[in-house]
Amino acid sequence: MAVEILIIRNKCDAATNGTHLIGDGLMAHLQSKGRSVAELSDAAATPENVHHWLNSTNNQTKKLIIGFDHGSCSAFYGEKNNQVVPVITLSNVEDLTKELHVYTFACSTNGSNCIGQTAVSKDCYSWLGYTEPVYVFTVAGALLNKLKTCVWSYIDALVDGKTLEQAEAVLKQAYKNHFQDHWVFKYNHDRLLLRKRMSNTKIDTHNRVVKWWRGRKVTGLYAHGPQNRNAFVHFQGLGWKRLWPAHDAQVVSMMASAAHAKAKNRNVDFFEDDGRVKILYVF
Amino acid sequence: MNTIEKLEKWVNEHPEEADTPAMNVTTGRSFSTRELLNELKREKETGVAIVDEGILEAKGIIENWLKEV
């Protein structure tokens, strides 16, 4: 079943023991806020699993990727056979992150011309990461808990409906609140960077669930007779999309509009929500 | 107040934090603030300059941080 949020956090060396600890309890925390979440933790953070959950064809992750792991300019890492291996790379980043938001607590993914910038230049909505290596506490205790609070603050802000910019400000302030406690907070703060395709977006308004498609042609119609409100439209280049099945009148009027568009070869704009057509304009 | 004096003051006021190691996730290099303070003191006492790149990087990070605390 598809989820809104995917957490990736490997654990196969001393450094990732620390980054892995930051994610302890996060899945349950997000679920308590009503979010659907999947987690690839430790040995589950394999390239195959990451591909399964993120490729745009399967579309199993709808809104946000959270990664606590190793990173570099050219890749974000997971693990296989207890070895660090790249899971999101310059060659697959377009497909795996398109129309998603990404938040990494990992080294160097958001430097100049690095994987974060590449992702956003393709179809990824946003990538918040670090421009250089990050520092982490590897021993459980008060400082690790404070770092955890900082890292979680961005995630909490996003799932609570804040814009990317508001969430970034929350994260920066969280780090600033702990500057006195240890140099790690200022160091990481000074290297975080948000890259985004547009301003004032939220994870609930720009994602793989909802999307406006414009200037499309209708190339097929299908209605399954024995079932009420079971009607599909085939759009050129997109395939079959079900009409939003909440109301009889809505299905009938959209089907009539689509039939007209097909017969007259007119362009249509439509709003897709979770793979289904919710609003349809014919021009 | 120079770097060593400022850092020593902070270490004395935050003994638990000063002993907590922090790790560079890329290099895996780990050190505590107290260890770095000791390195700086050793450099000053012996006159032998620090050449270890990891320690030099940490020294720069901490000097930058001390401007704000």
**What does pTM read for this prediction?**
0.87
Asked if B22 and A72 come within 8 Å (Cβ–Cβ), the reply is no
ipTM: 0.95
Given pLDDT bands bounded at 50, 70 and 90, which one contains residue A211? Answer: confident
Crossing angle of helices A142-159/A14-22, nearest 10°? Answer: 50
Asked if B23 and A182 come within 8 Å (Cβ–Cβ), the reply is no
The pLDDT value given to residue B37 = 96
Asked if B68 and A179 come within 8 Å (Cβ–Cβ), the reply is yes
Which of B17, B26, B68 has the CB atom closest to A181's CB atom?
B17
As a whole number, mean pLDDT of residues A36-45 equals: 98
* Residue ranges of chain B with per-residue pLDDT less than 50: none
The pLDDT value given to residue A128 = 98
Instruction: Write the burial class of residue A123 (CB in 10 Å: 0-12 exposed, 13-18 middle, 19+ buried).
Output: middle
As a whole number, mean pLDDT of residues A24-42 equals: 98
The pLDDT value given to residue A227 = 83
Is the model's pLDDT at A275 over the cut of 90? no
Instruction: Decide if A138 touches B, using CB distance below 8 A.
Output: yes
Asked if B65 and A187 come within 8 Å (Cβ–Cβ), the reply is yes
Interface of B with A (CB under 8 A): 14, 16-17, 20-28, 30, 33, 61-62, 64-65, 68-69
The pLDDT value given to residue A277 = 96
Question: Which stretches of chain A are DSSP H helices?
Answer: 14-22, 26-32, 47-54, 93-97, 115-121, 142-159, 164-176, 183-191, 248-264
The pLDDT value given to residue A210 = 87
Give the count of Cβ contacts less than 8 A between chain A and B.
73
User: Cβ–Cβ contacts within 10 Å for residue A48, how many?
Assistant: 11
Chain segment A103-155, per-residue pLDDT in tens: 999 999 999 999 999 999 999 999 999 999 999 999 999 999 999 999 999 99
- The percentage of residues in chain A with a pLDDT greater than 90, rounded to a whole number, is 93
Given pLDDT bands bounded at 50, 70 and 90, which one contains residue A92? Answer: very high
Asked if B69 and A179 come within 8 Å (Cβ–Cβ), the reply is yes
Number of H helices, E strands in chain B: 4, 2
Instruction: Write the burial class of residue B22 (CB in 10 Å: 0-12 exposed, 13-18 middle, 19+ buried).
Output: buried
Is the model's pLDDT at A228 over the cut of 90? no
The pLDDT value given to residue A226 = 81
Strand partners, A6: A38, A65
Residues of A in contact with B69 (CB under 8 A): 179-180
